[in-house]
């Protein structure tokens, strides 16, 4: 079945433009409410959101759709995406919803769904929900319309949970930490967790106004946090994105460590402690070859998936792994959470600093990255460049030139007519040549 609404991470688009309109959200709420209707108990849905202005509109429309098919809705307000996964499970809800476009600018918004187990929905479930949009709404009789209410205490529950993810009685006393919340969903929870654990907290991106989420701050623009780390002589910087499911680490010099470095650190620590399930880490095809080599040197394996944290989690669940993530900063630890959690990942790093007594600059450099180059090549809609013989020859030739010391990844974008050409090689001159050669053949179809 062709997917019309759902992408790699729920439904996403420009607010007030299809598909991110109140009308679609209303219909989608009714459809997903019907999909999760099971038995005659009173169904419960929890809805969280980030700080975008359009969140109010989407929240109200979803609530109307859900209550129209008999579901009770509990509105959490601004909370991190991982908190929605946690609360869906702990509150025995039938469904969880997060309204967020993650690291995108405020003009965009999105809707992510979580099943009663707290995990994001599968492709099959999303396709079945889309199919329901074509049918009648099946509204319930007037006496059975659901209720909607805002609840208190959800933020405190998540704060207490986050604190339990580091060893009991471990404190962060004496550590000075910059926390950049991207003016997003964690603008209150993240600083409070760090403060309650004893850290001296220097907050950034904690004054959301509906329009400044991810603007010149957060994990996609960590330079401001890096400057603050250096200016204040901080021990560490933690930069979250708009919904706090991804993170970048900034050492005491302001240098940035991505998700690959953080996953390498945690994998090594957990392996030493006998906690790394099945001796492997799950990451996407975009993770650096240096990570794979570092794990192999330690006798650990790297299992690769398609791009998207949802696919990482699916592979983790299928293979019984408990650690995975993406280079972009999603770090998934299923011992703690059902999706990426930037704050909890940052806490694992801080915990390792306390245990080891080593500075962030040492812990954040687990391996030397292999030079990586990515080039996006636009092609004419309707054309099929990757099926062309000339392109296939160029790809094969590039792979032969790179040999065993490099890697070439070619993939089409799922949202626009682009082919992403990514290469890795120790020889940067060779790397630039092979990526340029493949990109030039694909560009013929532009």
DSSP 8-state symbol, 42: -
Measured CA to CA, the distance from residue 261 to residue 364 in angstroms comes to: 6
Measured CA to CA, the distance from residue 5 to residue 132 in angstroms comes to: 12
Options 54, 68, 100, 102, the catalytic residue: 102
* 8 Å CB contact between 337 and 85: yes
Q: Which residues contact 145 (CB under 8 A, 6 or more apart)?
A: 67, 68, 70
* 8 Å CB contact between 328 and 317: no
For residue 75, the cross-strand partners are 47, 150
DSSP 8-state symbol, 95: E
* Residue in the block written with tokens 């010149």: 216
Measured CA to CA, the distance from residue 166 to residue 244 in angstroms comes to: 18
Chain-centroid distance of CA 392 in Å reads: 32
Measured CA to CA, the distance from residue 310 to residue 324 in angstroms comes to: 11
Which H, E and C letters describe 25-37, residue by residue?
A: HHHHHHHHHHHCC
In this structure, the strands spanning 95-99 and 6-7 are unpaired
Catalytic annotation present for 102: yes
What are phi and psi for residue 159, nearest 5 degrees?
A: -60, -45
Q: Which residues are catalytic?
A: 102
């Amino acid at each position: 079945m062709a997917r019309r609404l759902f992408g790699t991470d729920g439904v996403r688009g420009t607010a007030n433009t299809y598909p991110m309109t109140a009308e679609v959200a209303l219909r989608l709420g009714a459809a997903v409410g019907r999909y999760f209707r099971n038995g005659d108990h009173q169904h419960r849905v929890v809805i969280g959101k980030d700080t975008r202005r359009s969140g109010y509109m989407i929240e109200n429309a979803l609530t109307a759709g859900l209550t129209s098919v008999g579901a009770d809705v509990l509105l959490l307000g601004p909370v991190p995406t991982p908190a929605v996964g946690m609360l869906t499970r702990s509150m025995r809800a039938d469904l969880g919803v997060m309204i967020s476009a993650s690291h995108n600018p405020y003009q965009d918004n999105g809707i992510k769904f979580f099943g009663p187990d707290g995990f994001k929905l599968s492709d099959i479930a999303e396709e079945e929900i889309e199919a329901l949009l074509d049918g009648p709404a099946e509204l319930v009789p007037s006496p059975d319309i659901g209720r909607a209410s805002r609840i208190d205490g959800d933020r405190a529950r998540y704060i207490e949970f986050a604190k339990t993810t580091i060893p009991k009685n471990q404190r962060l006393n004496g550590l000075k930490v910059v926390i950049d919340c991207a003016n997003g969903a964690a603008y209150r929870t993240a600083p409070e967790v760090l403060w309650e654990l004893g850290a001296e907290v220097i907050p950034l991106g904690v004054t959301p106004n509906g329009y400044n989420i991810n603007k010149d701050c957060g994990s996609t623009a960590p330079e401001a946090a890096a400057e603050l780390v250096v200016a204040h002589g901080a021990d560490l910087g933690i930069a979250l994105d708009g919904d706090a499911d991804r993170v970048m680490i900034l050492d005491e010099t302001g240098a940035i460590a991505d998700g690959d470095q953080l996953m390498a650190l945690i994998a090594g620590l957990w392996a030493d402690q006998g906690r790394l399930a099945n001796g492997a880490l799950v990451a996407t095809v975009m993770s650096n070859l240096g990570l794979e080599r570092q794990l192999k040197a330690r006798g650990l394996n790297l299992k690769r998936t398609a791009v998207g944290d949802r696919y990482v989690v699916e592979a983790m669940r299928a293979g019984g792994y408990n650690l995975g993530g993406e280079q972009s900063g999603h770090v998934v630890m299923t011992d703690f959470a059902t999706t990426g959690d930037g704050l909890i990942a940052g806490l694992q790093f801080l915990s390792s600093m306390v245990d080891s007594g080593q500075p962030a600059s040492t812990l954040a450099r687990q391996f030397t990255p292999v030079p990586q180059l990515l080039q996006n090549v636009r092609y004419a809609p309707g054309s099929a460049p990757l099926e062309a013989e000339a392109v296939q020859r160029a790809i094969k030739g590039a792979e032969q030139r790179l040999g065993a010391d490099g890697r070439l990844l070619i993939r089409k974008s799922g949202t626009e007519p682009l082919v992403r050409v990514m290469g890795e090689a120790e020889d940067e001159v060779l790397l630039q040549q092979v990526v340029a050669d493949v990109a030039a053949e694909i560009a013929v179809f532009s």
